[in-house]
Structure 1
Amino acid sequence: MIPPIASRFVAGETAPEALEHAREANERGLGVILNLLGEHYHERGPADEDAATYCELIDDIADAGLRACVSVKPSQLGLDVGEDVFRENLASVVERADEHDEFVWIDMEDHTTTDATLDAFEHHARETGGSVGICVQANLRRTREDLERLADLPGKVRLVKGAYDPPAEVAYREKSRVNREYRDLLAFMFREFDDGVAVGSHDPGMIDLAADLHGEYGTPYEVQMLMGVREDAQVDLADDCEVWQYAPYGSKWLSYFYRRVLERKENLTFALRAVVSG
């Protein structure tokens, strides 16, 4: 059982709990991107099992009529085992989603996996006509070229600042430079993309910039935020634009919870307050 201190950031340990969270979020005006926690498998068995779980989850989302979709990590579907394993498992998930007219996001992991992830996205974007999405990271030096490649493809692209710690030869390390890149790349996406832009940010300045760019170019967009981070703002923002909440679930919640607590001062304050009051 997930303790209350962690349940702010994790939508339960089981699929029924995650689906109930999605239903409640839908009632508050939010779409939900469900992610089964798990990554960096080095054997095929767990990767195959998680792929099968995602297929079942997609069935459940469709049956329940929820405004929800799934997001998968390449290493969770077997990329560390072999690119062929990843592609086979991803194909099974995307095909199941396509049967139900549902959507699949493909998360981006560390910079060494970028090419394999983009190649897989391009294949499925063309095959499905756009029922898949991909994440790109503003801190990587290569991202402008990657976006030029993605601009003419169907499907959605989520821009984030980048949560990994790549070496300086492949990434910008200064926060101010990453912020500048994010703004420039976001402007490029609103100018050049037709199928919509996903703004993966909790930064009010970036969200305001997206609204201004939408007013200038008319490009459809959505804002994506993590479960447990600025949730009141998520609900308020949903009155003005489409908002999707990224909600992880599953038995591997502990390490995810620690990452969320340590990455932001307000999250740590929340956790400490919960411990004291509990």
Structure 2
Amino acid sequence: MIPPIADRFVAGESPATALEHVRRLNEQNVKGIVNLLGEHYEDRDAVAADVAEYRHLVTDIAGSGLEACISVKPSQLGLDLGEDVFRAELATIVDTAVEHGVFVWIDMEDHTTTDATLEAFETVAREHGGSVGVCMQANLRRTRADIKRLADVPGKVRFVKGAYDPPADVAYTDSTRVDQEYRTLLEYAFERYDGGIAVGSHDPAMIEHARALHDRHGTDFEIQMLMGVREDAQYDLAEEYEVWQYVPYGDRWLSYFYRRVAERKANLRFALRAVLSG
């Protein structure tokens, strides 16, 4: 059972609880990005089990009438076992999702997986004419070149600041510089992309920057935030913009919860405030 503080960030341990959470979100005009928790598998059976659950989840979403999609992690789909394993399992999920009209996001993990992730994304995106998206991290020095490479690839790109702790030779470590890069990446995307932009940030300054760019260029975009963080702001933004909430579930919730708290102490304050006021 997930304790009260953690359940602000994780929608239970089963697909049913995750989809019920999405149903409540939809009532607030917020859509759900459903993620089965799991990563860095070194056992092929564990990979196969999660792939099977994702395929069932896709059919459940398609049959539910909910406004929802899914998000997967490369290491959850066997990247640690080999790029060929990851590509094959990703293709299996995307094929099923495309058949049922469900969008698939590919999360970005640490910087050592970037090449494999982008190559796999580009392959499935071109094969299916979209229907998939990938996450890009503003703290990586390479990202400016990567978003130029992806400009003509069908699909979507989610821009985040970066949750991992890469070395200084591959990443910007100063938060002010990361904010500057985030703004620059958004400016390029709003000018050069034909929609397909997801602003994955809880930072009001970054969201406001995206809104200003939208007003200037008319480029479509969506806002993505995590479950349990600034949810009132999500509901308010959804009155005017397309808003998606990242909805994780599963029995591997403990490491995910600790990561959210470790990333920003404010996340723990959000959770505690919600518990105390609930």
**Which TM-score bucket, shorter chain as reference?**
over 0.9
Q: What TM-score, normalized by structure 2, do the two folds share?
A: 0.97
Task: Tell me the distance in 2 between the aligned counterparts of 1:271 and 1:101.
Answer: 34
Task: Tell me the distance in 2 between the aligned counterparts of 1:97 and 1:247.
Answer: 18
Task: Tell me the distance in 2 between the aligned counterparts of 1:111 and 1:49.
Answer: 26
How high is the sequence identity, in percent, across the aligned residues? Answer: 68
Task: Tell me the distance in 1 between the aligned counterparts of 2:194 and 2:185.
Answer: 15
Residues 272 and 61 from structure 1, CA distance in 2 versus in 1: closer, same or farther, beyond 3 angstroms?
closer
CA contact (8 A) 2:33 2:247 kept: yes
Residues 21 and 274 from structure 1, CA distance in 2 versus in 1: closer, same or farther, beyond 3 angstroms?
closer
CA contact (8 A) 2:228 2:270 kept: no
CA contact (8 A) 1:125 1:153 kept: yes
Secondary structure in structure 1 of the residue aligned to 2:240: coil
Secondary structure in structure 2 of the residue aligned to 1:244: strand
Summarize the alignment of residues 195-214 of structure 1 with structure 2, pairs less than 5 Å apart.
195-214=195-214
Q: Partner amino acid for 1:192?
A: R
Task: Tell me the distance in 1 between the aligned counterparts of 2:270 and 2:190.
Answer: 35
Summarize the alignment of residues 1-278 of structure 1 with structure 2, pairs less than 5 Å apart.
1-271=1-271
Please give the per-residue CA displacement for 1:93-132, whole angstroms capped at 9, x wherever unaligned.
Answer: 0000000111000000011110110000001111111100
Q: CA deviation at 1:257?
A: 1.2
Q: CA deviation at 1:91?
A: 0.6
Q: Partner amino acid for 2:87?
A: R
Q: CA deviation at 1:59?
A: 0.3
CA contact (8 A) 1:261 1:271 kept: no
CA contact (8 A) 2:230 2:270 kept: no
Q: Partner amino acid for 1:71?
A: S
Secondary structure in structure 2 of the residue aligned to 1:4: coil
Residues 28 and 113 from structure 1, CA distance in 2 versus in 1: closer, same or farther, beyond 3 angstroms?
same
RMSD, aligned CA: 1.5
Residues 276 and 231 from structure 1, CA distance in 2 versus in 1: closer, same or farther, beyond 3 angstroms?
closer
Unaligned runs of 5+ in 1: none
Task: Tell me the distance in 2 between the aligned counterparts of 1:3 and 1:145.
Answer: 42
Please give the per-residue CA displacement for 1:206-251, whole angstroms capped at 9, x wherever unaligned.
Answer: 1001011011111100000000000000000001110000010000
Unaligned runs of 5+ in 2: none
Secondary structure in structure 1 of the residue aligned to 2:212: helix
Secondary structure in structure 1 of the residue aligned to 2:51: helix
Q: CA deviation at 1:43?
A: 1.6
Task: Tell me the distance in 2 between the aligned counterparts of 1:36 and 1:213.
Answer: 33
Moved over 2 A (4+): 261-278
Q: What TM-score, normalized by structure 1, do the two folds share?
A: 0.97
